[in-house]
Amino acid sequence: MLKNRTSLTHKVRYAVSNPARIAPYLKRTARDSWLRVKHPNHVDYYRAVMASDTSRNPEAAVGSQTHDRWLALGKMQFDYLSEHGLAPGHRMLDIGCGNLRAGWRFIDYLDSGHYYGIDISPDILISAKQTLTTYGLQDKLPHLTIAQNLTLDFLPDHHFDVVHAHSVFSHSPLSVIDECFAHVGRVLAPGGFFDFTFDRTEGTEHQVLREDFYYRTETLIALAEKHGLRGRFMDDWETRKHGQSKIRVDQPT
Ligand SMILES: C[S@@+](CC[C@H](N)C(=O)[O-])C[C@H]1O[C@@H](n2cnc3c(N)ncnc32)[C@H](O)[C@@H]1O
């Protein structure tokens, strides 16, 4: 939690203990540098990263190197949320739904039409539709929509009981998170909550290749507070086998 992945010492140490990862890292650095030149706006850049990653392997593009891990990561999200307040009658907004790694389980569990997934990547949404078909969930009529930003302006007021963003802010600069916090309160139903994961550091906040962003818990809780939201660190998520941490945000009554 203290390590700064941008420091030279960390890079050298990592390279020495993981020699096989040097070549893929250099390849990724070259690709990302080119994509950053082509797309100065972060969302456009990250959409291009997703297009490139999804064309190779959609499950790896959402962070799972094997199908078993894809299944396990989806189950972990579903189990946690269903143990922490999700009910079948809830309306859920899944920000950065990816290819429905967890989404298909939420869709299966929720009443028809109650799942709304948004993502910036058309490529991963095409893969999401394939997941939906694989699991035979057509009758559940989920919404799967492309988004360019997180103003959520096309969604109704006070509609969603649960808003969820798993492994999305770990790929987002603070300006994107700020935009989300500025607007999520409007779409949350009374008593609703917003759960998100993030890459946590207890040291200096930093980013790697503008793909992975590391924040301190206090930064995100203070940012939520600036928008009238109350955040709390979900301690019991830390026991699950996942590298990220989780915060729940709601509106004080
Ligand atoms: C690591 S994947 C996780 C996908 C899904 N939440 C899951 O856990 O399987 C991150 C997803 O967030 C999407 N994403 C990244 N930035 C976003 C943003 N600002 N708004 C919406 N989606 C975003 C990416 O396109 C990608 O599909």
- Let me know: does 85 contact 162? Beta carbons within 8 Å: yes
C-beta 150 within 6 A of ligand 1: yes
Residue pLDDT, tens place only, 116-163: 999 999 999 999 999 999 999 999 999 999 999 999 999 999 999 999
Going from N- to C-terminal start, the domains of the chain cover 8-250
**Distance from C-alpha of 228 to C-alpha of 144, rounded to nearest angstrom:** 28
C-beta 201 within 6 A of ligand 1: no
**What local confidence, expressed as pLDDT, does residue 8 receive?**
67
Could you tell me the distance, in angstroms and rounded to a whole number, from the CA of residue 176 to the centre of ligand 1?
Answer: 12
C-beta 100 within 6 A of ligand 1: no
For the record, the structure tokens of 93 come out as 């907004």
| Predicted confidence (pLDDT) at residue 42 exceeds the cutoff of 70 | yes
Closest atom of ligand 1 to CA, residue 176: 19
Mean pLDDT, the chain, rounded, equals 94
- The CATH code that applies to domain 8-250 is 3.40.50.150
The protein residue with its alpha carbon nearest to ligand 1, atom 23, reads: 96
C-beta 123 within 6 A of ligand 1: no
C-beta 101 within 6 A of ligand 1: yes
3-state secondary structure of 245: strand
**Distance from C-alpha of 187 to C-alpha of 94, rounded to nearest angstrom:** 12
Burial 214-239 (b: 16+ CB within 10 A, else e): bbbbeebbebbeebebebeebeebee
H or E element in which residue 13 lies: helix 8-17
C-beta 184 within 6 A of ligand 1: no
Burial 27-49 (b: 16+ CB within 10 A, else e): ebeeebeebbeeeeebbebbbbb
Could you tell me the distance, in angstroms and rounded to a whole number, from the CA of residue 116 to the centre of ligand 1?
Answer: 14
**What local confidence, expressed as pLDDT, does residue 169 receive?**
98
The protein residue with its alpha carbon nearest to ligand 1, atom 8, reads: 166
Entry pTM: 0.93
Mean pLDDT of the 207-234 span = 96
**What local confidence, expressed as pLDDT, does residue 83 receive?**
97
69 or 29, greater pLDDT:
69
Mean pLDDT of the 214-240 span = 97
For the record, the structure tokens of 64 come out as 């799972």
**What local confidence, expressed as pLDDT, does residue 14 receive?**
73
The protein residue with its alpha carbon nearest to ligand 1, atom 10, reads: 168
CA-wise closest residue to 154 among 225, 93, 87, 86: 93
**What local confidence, expressed as pLDDT, does residue 142 receive?**
98
**What local confidence, expressed as pLDDT, does residue 205 receive?**
96
C-beta 50 within 6 A of ligand 1: yes
C-beta 105 within 6 A of ligand 1: no
Residue pLDDT, tens place only, 130-142: 999 999 999 999 9
Mean pLDDT of the 72-82 span = 98
Amino acid at 124: I
| Predicted confidence (pLDDT) at residue 21 exceeds the cutoff of 80 | no
